[in-house]
């Protein structure tokens, strides 16, 4: 009886949201909120990596008696402990299937702002690591992208998705600007790069809480589920189970989702080496000012790659685009390592960095897009949460490999040794095993009962 009353209250609340009039400027406001959130997300996701050598020197090396690579290894070990908490993120993300997309959008913006506030005020590495933990936990969900998945027309979904990523690149362009403004030649002043985006994050939190509406796709499907009318009867609807573990079971009993899961885990086994150490790698050869100069062309190269991804994947399909960007990522990664070691022009190195980073994220984003285009709306949030957990499992492998290898070899060896094999193998699996999902209408994907 209590469950029925709860359902009735939720139906009433959701119907009220669905019936609320949409003011004329709302589409513009929605686009603006998505863009601002993505700018914050890209800045928050990249900033800690782009000042890695500065905080390693501050907390572990200068006056502490450690070598740089010993400090880097210790920071990686502490980050690994924190990573166990971040692993709970997918379970949190799966709540979007029950409470909606908007609440998580609002909470995530606040969480990133608080995390950057901790980093700005950090008196020691443990407070700094807590801030990084907050940033990592709340930046990993990409709620703004799920809004695009569920609102954009199918034929333009990839173009709009990567178009938003193109705009988000300007969040990473702000990072070298902030380095130039606040970081001194001796590396001091790096905490200040967190101050302004922390304040902006709080503004986004307040604006989203006040003006943003729930995703109409979520409202429709959640109401259908609660009323038992989507597939005919309440008994049939009761078979739809949300949450991470039901989603993982669903994934591994459906061929397309299973191979998507396997390929993303293999790809992410290379992630930490590819995306987490490049600033420290540059700092071994270049000065603080030269590293900053190398970071300026990186987002420009990334933006070109993102725009290209949107066009290619909508024109030719997700699988061909995955193949193209896998090859580009590996080639540019190898070229980056060689050119940085030989101290080629910072601008050239920065362009290569943007090409390989942008291509790598395109591969993982295309995987996520195919997950979304292969999962029914009733459990899409749970499936996307499960995908994040599987990505985390692959990333954990890459962190472990990097931590162990750094104890007896150099960063110059660790990056290619861990970075290249997983990306190549995972991409081959995706190309060989997956079905194309270009043009799929998300609302038409049918829930299929999990095989016993």
Element (H, E) at 299: helix 297-315
pLDDT cut 70: percent of the chain above it: 88
Whether the CB-CB separation of 402 and 414 falls below 8 Å is answered with: yes
pLDDT of residue 451: 46
Q: Let me know if 238 is exposed, middle or buried by CB neighbors in 10 A (0-12, 13-18, 19+).
A: exposed
Would the pLDDT of 293 be above 80?
Answer: yes
| Domain CATH code at residue 158 | 1.20.1250.20
Indicate whether 267 belongs to any domain.
yes
Interval 108-118 mean pLDDT? 93
Residue closest to 305 by CA, chosen among 365, 361, 364, 359: 359
Indicate whether 228 belongs to any domain.
no
Indicate whether 13 belongs to any domain.
no
Query: What secondary structure does DSSP assign to 116-168, as a single string?
Result: HHHHHH-SSHHHHHHHHHHHHHHHSS-HHHHHHHHHS-GGGHHHHHHHHHHHH
Interval 10-15 mean pLDDT? 80
Interval 18-26 mean pLDDT? 77
Interval 341-345 mean pLDDT? 91
Indicate whether 146 belongs to any domain.
yes
**Bigger pLDDT: 384 or 4?**
384
Whether the CB-CB separation of 240 and 378 falls below 8 Å is answered with: yes
213 DSSP 8-state letter: -
Element (H, E) at 252: none
The span from the CA of 411 to the CA of 160, in Å, is 37
pLDDT of residue 360: 94
**Bigger pLDDT: 240 or 105?**
105
pLDDT band, very low/low/confident/very high, at 229 (cuts 50, 70, 90): very low
Indicate whether 450 belongs to any domain.
no
56 DSSP 8-state letter: H
Indicate whether 231 belongs to any domain.
no
Sign of CA dihedral 235, 240, 241, 242: negative
pLDDT of residue 238: 46
- And the tokens for 330? 């590996």
Count Cβ atoms below 10 Å from residue 348 Cβ, excluding itself: 15
Would the pLDDT of 317 be above 70?
Answer: yes
Would the pLDDT of 342 be above 50?
Answer: yes
Would the pLDDT of 27 be above 80?
Answer: no
Whether the CB-CB separation of 309 and 369 falls below 8 Å is answered with: no
The span from the CA of 194 to the CA of 129, in Å, is 13
pLDDT of residue 10: 77
pLDDT cut 90: percent of the chain above it: 26
What range does the domain containing 262 cover?
24-220+239-444
- And the tokens for 50? 């782009």
Would the pLDDT of 155 be above 80?
Answer: no
| Number of domains observed in the structure of the chain | 1
Indicate whether 452 belongs to any domain.
no
Whether the CB-CB separation of 226 and 10 falls below 8 Å is answered with: yes
pLDDT band, very low/low/confident/very high, at 239 (cuts 50, 70, 90): low
Would the pLDDT of 125 be above 80?
Answer: yes
Whether the CB-CB separation of 92 and 143 falls below 8 Å is answered with: no
Average pLDDT of the chain? 83
pLDDT band, very low/low/confident/very high, at 97 (cuts 50, 70, 90): confident
pLDDT of residue 444: 65
Mean pLDDT lowest among 66-75, 317-326, 332-341: 66-75
pLDDT band, very low/low/confident/very high, at 378 (cuts 50, 70, 90): confident
Element (H, E) at 446: none
The span from the CA of 138 to the CA of 389, in Å, is 14
Q: Let me know if 406 is exposed, middle or buried by CB neighbors in 10 A (0-12, 13-18, 19+).
A: buried
The span from the CA of 74 to the CA of 54, in Å, is 15
Would the pLDDT of 418 be above 70?
Answer: yes
**Bigger pLDDT: 83 or 397?**
397
Whether the CB-CB separation of 367 and 281 falls below 8 Å is answered with: no
Would the pLDDT of 376 be above 70?
Answer: yes
Indicate whether 18 belongs to any domain.
no
Residue closest to 387 by CA, chosen among 369, 374, 368: 368
């Amino acid at each position: 009886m209590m469950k029925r009353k709860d359902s009735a209250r939720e139906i009433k609340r959701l119907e009220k949201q669905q019936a609320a009039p949409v003011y004329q400027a709302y589409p513009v406001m929605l686009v603006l909120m998505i863009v601002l959130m993505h700018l914050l997300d890209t800045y928050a996701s990249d900033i800690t990596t782009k000042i890695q050598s500065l905080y390693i020197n501050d907390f572990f090396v200068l006056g502490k008696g450690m070598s740089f690579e010993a400090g880097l290894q210790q920071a990686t070990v502490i980050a690994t402990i924190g990573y166990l908490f971040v692993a709970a993120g997918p379970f949190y993300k799966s709540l979007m299937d029950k409470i909606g997309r908007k609440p998580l959008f609002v909470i995530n913006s606040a969480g990133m702002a608080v995390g950057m506030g901790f980093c700005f005020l950090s008196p020691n590495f443990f407070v700094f690591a807590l801030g990084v933990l907050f940033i990592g936990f709340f930046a990993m969900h990409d709620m703004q992208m799920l809004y695009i998945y569920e609102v954009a027309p199918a034929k333009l979904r990839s173009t709009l998705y990567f178009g938003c990523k193109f705009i988000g690149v300007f969040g990473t362009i702000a990072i070298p600007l902030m380095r130039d403004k606040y970081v001194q030649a001796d590396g001091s002043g790096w905490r200040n790069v967190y101050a302004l985006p922390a304040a902006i994050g709080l503004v986004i939190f307040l604006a989203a809480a006040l003006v943003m509406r729930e995703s109409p796709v979520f409202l429709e499907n959640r109401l259908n589920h609660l009323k038992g009318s989507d597939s005919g009867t309440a008994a049939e609807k009761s078979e739809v189970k949300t949450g991470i573990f039901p989603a993982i079971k669903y994934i591994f009993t459906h061929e397309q989702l299973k191979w998507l899961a396997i390929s993303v885990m293999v790809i992410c086994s290379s992630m930490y080496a590819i995306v987490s150490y490049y600033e420290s790698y540059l700092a071994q050869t270049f000065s603080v000012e030269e590293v900053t100069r190398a970071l300026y062309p990186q987002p420009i190269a990334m933006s070109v790659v993102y725009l290209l991804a949107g066009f290619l994947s909508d024109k030719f399909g997700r699988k061909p685009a995955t193949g193209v960007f896998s090859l580009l990522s590996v080639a540019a990664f190898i070229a980056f390592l060689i050119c940085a070691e030989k101290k080629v022009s910072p601008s050239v190195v920065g362009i290569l960095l943007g090409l390989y980073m942008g291509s790598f994220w395109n591969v993982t984003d295309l995987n996520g897009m195919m997950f979304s285009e292969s999962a029914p709306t009733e459990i899409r949030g749970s499936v996307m949460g499960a995908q994040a957990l599987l990505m985390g499992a692959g990333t954990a492998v890459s962190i472990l490999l990097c931590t162990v290898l750094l104890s007896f070899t150099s960063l110059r060896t660790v990056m290619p040794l861990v970075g290249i094999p997983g990306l190549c193998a995972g991409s081959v699996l995706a190309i060989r095993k997956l079905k194309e999902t270009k043009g799929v209408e998300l609302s038409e994907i049918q829930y299929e009962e999990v095989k016993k």
